[in-house]
A and B are shown apart, each in its own frame.
Chain A
Amino acid sequence: MSIELIIGILNIVLISTTPLVFAGIGELVTEKSGVLNLGLEGLMLVGAVTGFITLVITGNYFYSLFLSIISGVILSGIFAFLVLNLMTNQIATGLALTIFGIGLSAMLGKKFGGTPINGLNPYYFIVISFLLVFFVAYFLSKTKTGLIVRAVGENHNSAYALGYNVIKTRYLTIIFGGVMSSLAGYYISICYAPMWQEGMTAGRGWIALALVVFATWKPWRLLVGAYIFGGVAIMQMNLQAIGVKLPGQFFNMMPYLATIIVLVFISSNKLRLKLSAPSSLNIPFEKNQ
């Protein structure tokens, strides 16, 4: 293998893995505070279409990025209101958010499918994604606010008794997660495959969700996991192109399979489960308990 070939492969791996890092690190923070948001796919699609439409209309990358982020704030804000204030079931609400996002993005983008645009250089986002993982890892382990987020996620009643505002903390982490998903979507429709087509995220939101579990809720492991998923996908393409016979379907399900194996591994031992998953994950918080 020549150096150029290897650099080329690394380049493709970087470009294709970045949306997983964005969506995954956002969801990791949300889940660390004890909220499971299954709406990533919907958030990504709406972020992708909002950015795309704004870019087509204004021709301005800054506006398109800004509105894409705003779409994430609004949608995840609605999700937060439903699950935190109205205490709806997080799983059902998250699924509803995905379905809503798929439909809404298709409706918004109807007139814009097939409009050619000039894509943005992906390298800005790749650099930001690495910085983001560093920032989140530092935030969760080394800062006081990060500790509060984790406390809220581990035991919201104790955190509340200590005087922390559980609802406010969760609002912020949900919105952070939503914005990261929007950025992932924005990256897909503006940098990765510069176009808008219905359902173009093609299940990456679900892979990002699996990734958080695969990483056992640890930021650096999430980065490594994302690059394992992305790297394996690109390597199998390279092997196919060389002429090696591979079971392609197997590689499509690999992220989910790997996640199930990790789940089985961490669930086999109560202590291990406790050390990995936030204890209050998916449990609604009632103030007057």
Chain B
Amino acid sequence: MLRKILTILSFLAVISVSAVHADQKKIGFIYIGPPGDHGWTYMHDQGRIYMENALGDSISTTYIENVPENADAVRAIRKLAASGHDLIFTTSFNYMDQTLEVAKEFPDVKFEHATGFKRMDNVSTYSARFYEGRTIIGHIAGKMTKTNTIGYIVSFPIPEVIRGINAFYLAASKVNPDVKIKIIWNYSWYDPGKEADAANTLINQGADIIVQHTDSYAPCQAAEKAGVLAFGQASNQEAFCPNSHMTSIEDIWGPYYAAKAQAVVDGTWSSEDTWHGFKDGMVEMSPYNTKLLPLNLILEAKNMETAIENGTLHPFEGPIYNQAGELVVKEGEVADDGMLASMMFYVQGIDGEVPQ
């Protein structure tokens, strides 16, 4: 009920930028959070701004923020479609069916759904290979930990998050076979207090590095206060924890958004599935902290980035075993995208079970 009222209010707060020219294409965005979250939505909004700067007067943009992932999303998306938008980005996984529902009603409007897997003639999907970044931070963590204990704070048990844990652990245990990760599931993307509690709990249990897959920078702050190391999430968080922040995995949406908008302007847009990583610049590492990391480790990390880019290194190279000891990726092979997209198991060596 509250969320409903908020959505209605946010409709009223739809922000339209610049006057509409006759041939100008209108591009809309649906955000799950506020652009000020310094995480997921913030980076999508940065992408929107990048697109505006790149295409100038040939487009105008609109966004609706704080749209819940339920039937309200249909109204928000339909509102954009009905008000003459040519291209609409829906930027969260659980807008999937809502996006398709509206797309059926508006066959002439193009839709782009982030992190989903259902497509139509006028619906594309796109996502980033964040796990490539998890491989880099796993490598760094494996080498930097002194207690061999790493604290990992996570949101919900969905493939994207579990893939991240596995990629991280595979890289960390490769350079440090004694490494253990302690995992806390928070069951929320965003609750700064709870994220701080989880970080403090992990530090109290001996973790000297904090990794997060939640949206606020509270864990990094908690690490700073306790004098342990941390990695940021989604955007560069060094400003909030300068003495503990080693690097962050950044989501870079701008070039993709600009390219798709240009395609709509040129009339060449078509439905496709995009899953980009380091190679196409959709995932980037924040500047490595030279105060905390030894120079040779920074070089190793950069070499790994290059190796992942040109395909000589894959985050999921066989042999990979699951917790039951079954071989899931054979030696000499790599996990295919189908397995990655539906990954709901831990690899061998991780303690605990995937929550159901």
Name A's B-contacting residues (CB within 8 A): 5, 8-9, 11-12, 15-16, 19, 95, 98-99, 102-103, 106, 109-110, 113-114, 116, 119, 188, 192-195, 197-204, 233-234, 237-238, 240-245, 247-249, 252
Contact = CB atoms under 8 A, between A and B. Distances in A.
B34 A241 contact: no
Contacts of B225: 119
B38 A197 contact: yes
B108 interface: no
Residue of A195, A197, A199 with most chain B CB atoms under a 10 A cut-off? A197
Given A193-B195, A197-B216, A202-B191, A241 B151 contact: yes
B2 interface: yes
A245 B355 contact: yes
Contact of A16 (B190, B193, B202, B216): B193
B88 interface: no
Contact of B239 (A116, A192, A244, A245): A116
Given A238-B205, A240-B184, A243-B351, A200 B193 contact: yes
14 contacts: A8-B200, A11-B204, A15-B197, A110-B36, A113-B36, A197-B190, A199-B190, A200-B192, A200-B193, A241-B151, A243-B352, A245-B353, A245-B355, A252-B188
Contact of A248 (B186, B193, B239): B186
Interface string B188-225: 10111111111011101100000000001110010001
Contacts of B204: 5, 8-9, 11-12, 238
Given A103-B9, A241-B202, A16 B36 contact: no
Contact of A99 (B2, B187, B216): B2
B126 interface: no
Those 10 A-B pairs whose CB atoms lie nearest each other, nearest first: A8-B204, A113-B36, A193-B192, A202-B191, A241-B182, A243-B351, A193-B218, A237-B201, A243-B352, A198-B34
B355 A248 contact: yes
A202 B218 CA distance: 13
A9 B204 CA distance: 7
Interface string B158-186: 00000000000000000000000011111
Contact of A12 (B33, B197, B221, B355): B197
A192 B193 CA distance: 6
Instruction: Determine the interface band of chain B, counting residues with CB < 8 A from chain A.
Output: 35 or more
B6 interface: yes
B240 interface: yes
| Interface SS majority for chain A | helix
A12 B201 contact: yes
B218 A245 contact: no
Contact of A113 (B2, B38, B187, B351): B38
Given A16-B193, A245-B355, A252-B187, A198 B205 contact: no
Interface of B: 2, 5-6, 9, 33-34, 36-38, 151, 182-188, 190-198, 200-202, 204-205, 216-218, 221, 225, 239-240, 351-353, 355
B192 A9 contact: no
Contacts, number: 126
Given A193-B193, A195-B216, A241 B6 contact: no
A36 B201 CA distance: 35
B194 to A, nearest CB: 7
Given A8-B204, A110-B36, A116-B239, A195 B193 contact: no
Nearest to A235: B201
Contacts of A5: 204-205
Contacts of B351: 243
Nearest to B157: A248
B201 A241 contact: yes
Contacts of B5: 99
Contacts of B186: 248
Contacts of B193: 16, 19, 188, 192-193, 200-202, 204
Contacts of A98: 2
A37 to B, nearest CB: 16
Contact of B197 (A103, A197, A233): A233
A101 to B, nearest CB: 12
Nearest to A13: B197
A247 B191 CA distance: 18
A193 B216 CA distance: 10
B15 to A, nearest CB: 12
Contacts of A16: 193-194, 196-197
A249 B240 CA distance: 30
B201 A234 contact: yes
Given A102-B6, A243-B352, 11 more contacts: A11-B200, A12-B200, A99-B6, A103-B9, A113-B36, A194-B221, A195-B221, A202-B192, A240-B184, A240-B185, A241-B202
Contacts of A233: 194, 197
Contact of A241 (B183, B194, B196): B183
